[in-house]
Amino acid sequence: MTDDDRAMALLSDATIDLTAHRQRLRGEGRAQISPAMDAHQAARLLQAVEQAPFRLSVNSGAKSLDLSLDELASLQPEQEAKFTELIHAGAASGFQYCFDTYRLSDEVEGGQLTSGPLLDLYRGLNSQPFLDRCRYLADDDSIEFCDAQVTRYRPGHFLTMHNDDVAGKGRVMAYVLNLTVAWRADWGGLLLFHGADGQVGGGFAPAFNRLNLFKIPCDHAVSLVAPFAQQPRYAVTGWARRRA
């Protein structure tokens, strides 16, 4: 079996109207497509995502940190309170994030991940059929590859407003492959799009096996996951990119 045979097929359902979604991306800058993949493959992928060795991803200003969950669990209450206080201070005054991550691109490209559904997904994201669909949807033939990370948002996790436009990264279009079953919008974790006037111009709630797409740059955020949320918010996220 070749790598192409093992790659998960994305946006391959013949009933998906890619032309309509392309027009939506042209007009609104964003689109939501369902189903993203075969239902069996999506269920298989979710099982792998739930077992991923996550770390807590936070930033301190421009510096990104991936922290051991085991080490964080060993903090004394006053240490944990101070850590949370620093995160909230960053969120109050600027760009801040706090969520669990498994950096899929790094694991695959570094040779640490050699088999399983997450590798098959990564192959699918970088297969010619999916990249061709991304080029068509974004109306941009410069797209050459997709990167990926697995994310898990638990109560208290969030991502404040930003636009993903980072010099030298070659980001053309962002994607969020939702893998959360039976999520309620009032649990938070919403992908929100911000207008120039500071108002929320729209948003997507997590929904299993749906793919959110939006062109870069785009002001957006992930709203705080509520303390009463009954499950984590799972997704695979990244960007369709050109070589910098």
In the chain, what are the domains? 3-241 (3.60.130.20)
pLDDT in tens, 126-135: 999 999 999 9
Residue 4: per-residue pLDDT:
61
Backbone angles phi, psi at 160, to 5 degrees: -80, 170
Task: Please tell me whether the overall predicted TM-score, pTM, comes out greater than 0.85 for this model.
Answer: yes
pLDDT in tens, 16-56: 999 999 999 999 999 999 999 999 999 999 999 999 999 99
Both tokens of residue 38? 């075969």
Backbone angles phi, psi at 125, to 5 degrees: -65, -30
Check whether 117 has a pLDDT greater than 80: yes
Share of the chain above pLDDT 90, in %: 93
- Among candidates 38, 47, 45, 43, which has minimal Cα distance to 9? 38
Residue 5: per-residue pLDDT:
58
Residue 3: per-residue pLDDT:
58
Both tokens of residue 94? 């600027």
Check whether 2 has a pLDDT greater than 70: no
pLDDT confidence of 15, banded at 50, 70, 90?
very high
Residue 244: per-residue pLDDT:
73
Give me the mean pLDDT over the 109-118 stretch.
98
**CA–CA dist 158, 204 (Å, integer):** 15
Give me the mean pLDDT over the 145-155 stretch.
98
H or E stretch covering 92? helix 77-93
pLDDT confidence of 196, banded at 50, 70, 90?
confident
pLDDT confidence of 6, banded at 50, 70, 90?
confident
Give me the mean pLDDT over the 185-197 stretch.
95
pLDDT mean across residues, the chain: 96
pLDDT confidence of 198, banded at 50, 70, 90?
confident
pLDDT confidence of 100, banded at 50, 70, 90?
very high
Helix (H, G, I), strand (E, B) or coil at 221: strand
